[in-house]
Amino acid sequence: MRSRASVFTLAALVLAAGCGQHEEPPMTVGAEFISAATSPTQDPNDGESLGAERTFNVMNTDLRVTVLSFASRVAEASPRPMDGGHWAGAEVRTCSVSAESKLKVSWSQWLLRDTEDGRHERSKISWETFPLPEYPFAPQRVEAGECVQGWVVFPVPDTVEISRVEYSPNDSIRARWDVPAE
């Protein structure tokens, strides 16, 4: 019992030490540094317009990322999603502008948000009837100077309205593009 109490005491001290005030490390967005806590130029919750390009540094690779278009219904000839609903799609582009690139891109870096802040992750399957060109479904390396463009498809319940497309390649970057209301 005594060793358990010591472990709990030690764990509590470690947690308490980590709870002090500290600044979040800055996230690189182009030439600007935006803190996760505050932003001098743009609220990180604000979305861009479709077609607007965002610049990031991920794994020492400078990227240009954009959502070119959004379709609330795609792949009508495909089997319906397993949980019902329909397929929605975002046409996206990622370009590596670094001299050396170690970045891999895939559908897993994208998600949709609805007007009630619900999250809708990308499809875990791909059908031949999904829109083409297809953004890399499985992780694929983007070489220096190369761009990858295509559709990412999402299962969406019939009862929701999508408001945003989000890109998040890691825990410190989250870019948003607003989807116009239908």
pLDDT score recorded for residue 45: 56
pLDDT score recorded for residue 7: 35
- Per-residue pLDDT tens over the stretch 67-95: 999 999 999 999 999 999 999 999 999 99
Separation of alpha carbons 160 and 118, rounded Å? 9
| DSSP letters spanning 16-29 | HHHTS--PPPPEEE
- Per-residue pLDDT tens over the stretch 132-164: 999 999 999 888 889 999 999 999 999 999 999
The tokens describing 19, both together, are 């709870």
Burial, 56: exposed, middle or buried (Cβ in 10 Å; 0-12, 13-18, 19+)?
Answer: buried
Separation of alpha carbons 87 and 155, rounded Å? 5
Q: Whole-prediction pTM value?
A: 0.73
Residue with the bigger pLDDT between 63 and 60: it is: 63
Domains of the chain: 23-178 (2.60.40.1240)
DSSP lists the bridge partners of residue 61 as: 58
pLDDT score recorded for residue 99: 72
E strand or H helix at 149, and its extent? strand 147-156
Average pLDDT for 166-170: 90
pLDDT score recorded for residue 59: 77
Residue with the bigger pLDDT between 11 and 88: it is: 88
